[in-house]
Amino acid sequence: MSTESVREIHGLRLGTVEYGKALDIQRFFHTRRKRIGTADILLLLEHNHVITIGRRANESHVLADKETLHNLGIQIFETDRGGEATYHGPGQLVGYPIIDVRASSLSPVKYVRILELAIVETLNVLGIQAHLVDGETGVWVGGIPNEKKQYGVNPSGRKIAAIGVRISDGVSMHGFALNVSTDLSYFGRIIPCGMPNLAVTSVQAEMGTPISTDDCAEIIASMLAEKLNRELSWADLADFELSVPDLT
């Protein structure tokens, strides 16, 4: 654990938020964190159906044509996060930590590891043995123990959580997506994380029993706060004077 003094992180559970609005909320808190030096923020939410394309991806990783996606109600967003193409939708717990990583002396790699390990420990609490793959980003279930990345070969396990972040002026944006009760068929419309035929899974698929994102949100928030040496407190969006329209 870090030797820095314990600071506060506010957790906000926002329900289902359209991706563009969630991006505006992130930007508001990111700017606020940089300029005012207020407490860190963890936004927890679900998105409507959306495919996001990270800085390392291109539109060829979206396998369905735009008309098909439109008919299915799936939006497409190009984003400034790291990573490639991924899917967000109902039943997926999305976390956007707005963290002053520089003040905690965290490199981008160390910060991503903290996110991954918080998810691993959350899944362990739920009875799912999850792990990392050396050289890959994200969290996996099953497969070969102590596996290392092989270029051109997908890991042998099933990916249950994806991570893509951006750090600007020492403050993070974007974050993680944990498949809880997600309809996994939507991943078939993209090349997820740049890996053709990637095996994906969800908490519900691994447990074999129904579970909601709310069931996971408090666990993962507590795990992340502990790893960041933060004191977690829950807040509401109404507690903050948002300077962007139509977000409440």
What is the distance between the alpha carbons of residues 152 and 195, in angstroms, rounded to a whole number? 8
- CA distances (Å), origin 172, targets 60, 115, 133, 142, 223: 28, 12, 23, 30, 18
pTM: 0.92
Catalytic residue among 193, 203, 221, 223: 193
Which one, of 98, 114, 94, lies nearest residue 228 by Cα? 114
What six digits make up the tokens of 43? 């936004």
Span 19-70, pLDDT tens digits? 999 999 999 999 999 888 778 999 999 999 999 988 776 778 899 898 999 9
**What is the third-level CATH fold of 7-235?**
BirA Bifunctional Protein; domain 2 (3.30.930)
Span 162-191, pLDDT tens digits? 999 999 999 999 999 999 999 999 999 998
What six digits make up the tokens of 14? 């926002």
| 3 state SS for the chain | CCCCCCEEEEEEEEEECCHHHHHHHHHHHHHHHHHHCCCEEEEEEECCCEEEECCCCCHHHECCCHHHHHHCCCEEEECCCCCCEEEECCCEEEEEEECECCCCCCCHHHHHHHHHHHHHHHHHHCCCCEECCECCCCEEECCCCCCECECCECCCCEEEEEEEEEEECCEEEEEEEEECCCCHHHHHHECHHHCCCCCECCHHHHHCCCCCHHHHHHHHHHHHHHHCCEEEEEECHHHCCCCCCCCC
What is the distance between the alpha carbons of residues 182 and 205, in angstroms, rounded to a whole number? 9
What is the distance between the alpha carbons of residues 231 and 91, in angstroms, rounded to a whole number? 27
Q: How confident is the model at residue 78 (pLDDT cuts 50, 70, 90)?
A: confident
Q: How confident is the model at residue 148 (pLDDT cuts 50, 70, 90)?
A: very high
Contact 175, 163 (CB under 8 A): yes
What six digits make up the tokens of 125? 């609490």
Q: What is the pLDDT of residue 177?
A: 98
Q: What is the pLDDT of residue 6?
A: 61
Question: Catalytic residue at 193?
Answer: yes
| Residues 6 or more apart in contact with residue 132 via CB below 8 angstroms | 113, 116, 117, 120, 138, 139, 140
Q: How confident is the model at residue 130 (pLDDT cuts 50, 70, 90)?
A: very high
